[in-house]
Chain A
Amino acid sequence: MTATPFFSVRNLHLSFADRAHKPLFGPAPRIEVLKGLDLDIGEGRITGIVGESGSGKSTLGRVLVRLLDPDSGNVMFKGQDIAGLDEEALRPLRRDLQMIFQDPMSSLNPRHKVWRIIAQPMKRYGLGGTREQATEALVRVGLPAEFGDRFPHQLSGGQRQRVGIARAIAVGPSFILADEIVSGLDVSSQAHVLMLLSKLAKEMGLTVAFISHDLSVIRHLCDDVIVLDHGVIVDNGPVEQVFDDPQSDVTRKLLAAIPLPEMDDTWFER
């Protein structure tokens, strides 16, 4: 007997209309972004999704939390196919599928104080949304309770990203999609945010999909990794396996591009 995987994606296709090449009459041609993906995400695991710009990694993430509709294929979430569900049917699942965005400055309402930003989704899902609950979430992500009274622009990048995490975990999801959440931060803030995410995932039993273009971040944080290239999976497995024995040139190229903090005259030639 095998356990049902947390997410099980089969033959996933997705395309966008290419409006730049739309003829005067008739529909615009389609650009295929995801070309028949098969993948599983294990419960309680942190899975990295990596690739260059345009590889389809963010698109895949957005299909998992159903911000995007796939053209065809199955997206089984805890045994239920959510690929074709309409908004009405998705509503009960929304709380369970949370997302943290790349740029916290544009995803946090600049006119709201931090505690309201965190409380709002709780209110929406009928989970209360009191000041106390918001404070509790703030403390959970390692920010002082007084920060509830601040506005997003009064925080540093790393602190804003913690607020984004607090908002996502406050509603008690089982899945979090983190899309490039450390790419705008300096290395020390990166380290703090990564440590926090991995600690919370463990404590709360969260399943996390972590999108990044940086394999060194993935190696540090994730249990499994999926490498995408032009909408196709080119590597997939536990991190140690993929990093020690990459199956594709794309993965090898991404690995070679990491600037390690050591002197190496041959780096540019590789």
Chain B
Amino acid sequence: MTRTVLDIMNLTVNLPNRTRILRDVSLSLEPGEVRALVGESGAGKSMIGKAVLGILPPKVRISEGEILLDNEHLGAMTPVTRRNTVARMSALIPQDPLTALNPLRKIGPQIVDPLRRIHGWSADKARARALELLDRVHIRAPERVMASYPHELSGGMRQRILIAAAFAPSPRLIVADEPTTALDVTVQKEILKLIRELQRETGTAVLFVTHDMGVVAKISQKVTVLFAGKVMEDAPTEQVFSGAAHPYTRALINATPSSADPSRSFTPVPAQLVADLHREIAQDDHLYMTVTS
């Protein structure tokens, strides 16, 4: 029997005025699997990662649904247990490596401290693992980098350091929140390659948030397509690119540059389709408000 790493069931996330940010979202992740979470800005794709990691913005609440991390109900735990469980089993690779690193602290302690504090490793073991991972993400002179401050390093290097830090404890789950959006295409390719290699070595499952269907095709085995907080399509990646079921998924693919048919790439998502989807969701919302009020 395989244990699912992450099981999100009927997750609804609200603002205080009951505006829904996520609408009845379900998805699951098997060990060693990469699932892409794709959608436009504001679709709620990052919100799912934040709900799992327990870092939702203030006032944003989970109103319905369950999140199971390694078959454990996060909702049933006390806040402290929940925080510890999440910290022990998962890690985040954020979009902006500069804001994720503390500018006043050297790189070394920023990787080593969580390994000691959360995972209870000895100083020597944590340091050895940090050096091993830095070397693994192709950082030359890892000793020197550990003694550097974030501002002394390039954007690509900082992102590689955060990848090393995320994979160091071999977590069950990594949430990668648009980790390559701020990078050059050539650096992006390196970073994607690293995530893929490390993920395969450690067997870590990855929830990969992105807006780019090109990246989806390269990195993931499964895809969840989101629009306005609602799941439009959930399918194996291969199936999505051989013939997506949902028109919105096809529209996203057509908005992405393609070699096969350059004339069709960069086609904006048709306004009519967007209007139709919004209308559907508005009807849903009306019903939701009536039922819950």
Interface positions of A (Cβ within 8 A of B) = 52-53, 156-157, 184-192, 194-195, 213-217, 219-220, 253-254, 256-264, 267-268
Chain A hits for B211, CB < 8 A: 186-188
Cβ-closest 6 pairs across A and B: A216-B257, A259-B214, A186-B211, A257-B185, A191-B268, A261-B213
Give 21 CB contacts A-B under 8 Å: A156-B41, A184-B181, A187-B211, A188-B40, A188-B268, A190-B266, A191-B255, A191-B269, A220-B257, A254-B186, A257-B185, A259-B217, A259-B218, A260-B260, A261-B213, A261-B217, A261-B241, A262-B217, A262-B259, A262-B260, A268-B218
Task: Name A213's contact: one of B41, B184, B238, B267 (CB within 8 Å).
Answer: B184
Chain B hits for A219, CB < 8 A: 257, 262
Of B212, B215, B251, the most chain A CB neighbours within 10 A belong to B212
Instruction: State whether the Cβ of B216 lies closer than 8 Å to any Cβ in chain A.
Output: yes
Give the CA-CA distance A263 to B156 in the complex, in Å.
25
Give the CA-CA distance A214 to B188 in the complex, in Å.
11
Chain B 133-157 per-residue mask, 1 if CB under 8 angstroms from chain A, else 0: 0000000000000000000001110
The answer to whether B268 and A258 have CB atoms under 8 Å apart is: no
Of B42, B214, B258, B269, the most chain A CB neighbours within 10 A belong to B214
Main secondary structure of the interface of B (DSSP, over half): helix
Chain B hits for A268, CB < 8 A: 189, 192-193, 196, 218
Give the CA-CA distance A256 to B189 in the complex, in Å.
9
The answer to whether B188 and A257 have CB atoms under 8 Å apart is: yes
The answer to whether A188 and B255 have CB atoms under 8 Å apart is: yes
Give the CA-CA distance A53 to B253 in the complex, in Å.
27
Chain B 242-285 per-residue mask, 1 if CB under 8 angstroms from chain A, else 0: 10000000011101111110100111110000000000000000
Give the CA-CA distance A259 to B196 in the complex, in Å.
14
B164-221 residues with Cβ-Cβ distance < 8 A to A are 181-182, 184-189, 192-193, 196, 211-218
The answer to whether A261 and B268 have CB atoms under 8 Å apart is: no
Apart from A257-B186, A262-B217, A262-B259, list 12 A-B contacts with CB within 8 A: A52-B184, A188-B251, A188-B268, A188-B269, A190-B255, A217-B257, A254-B185, A259-B185, A260-B217, A261-B216, A263-B241, A268-B218
Q: Which residue of B lies closest to A55 (CB)?
A: B184
Interface footprint category on B: 35 or more
Chain A hits for B218, CB < 8 A: 259, 264, 267-268
Given known A187-B212, A263-B241, contact A195–B217 (CB-CB < 8 A): no
Q: In whole Å, how far is A96's beta carbon from the nearest beta carbon of chain B?
A: 29
Q: Inter-chain contact count A-B, CB under 8 Å?
A: 115
Instruction: State whether the Cβ of B159 lies closer than 8 Å to any Cβ in chain A.
Output: no
Give the CA-CA distance A186 to B266 in the complex, in Å.
11
Chain A hits for B196, CB < 8 A: 268
Given known A213-B184, A214-B185, A216-B265, contact A262–B258 (CB-CB < 8 A): yes
Chain A hits for B265, CB < 8 A: 216, 220
Chain B hits for A267, CB < 8 A: 218
Chain B hits for A261, CB < 8 A: 213-214, 216-217, 241, 253, 256-258
Give the CA-CA distance A195 to B267 in the complex, in Å.
9
Given known A156-B41, A268-B193, contact A258–B257 (CB-CB < 8 A): yes
Give the CA-CA distance A253 to B187 in the complex, in Å.
11
Chain A hits for B215, CB < 8 A: 259
Give the CA-CA distance A53 to B156 in the complex, in Å.
10
Give the CA-CA distance A53 to B188 in the complex, in Å.
12
Q: In whole Å, how far is A156's beta carbon from the nearest beta carbon of chain B?
A: 7
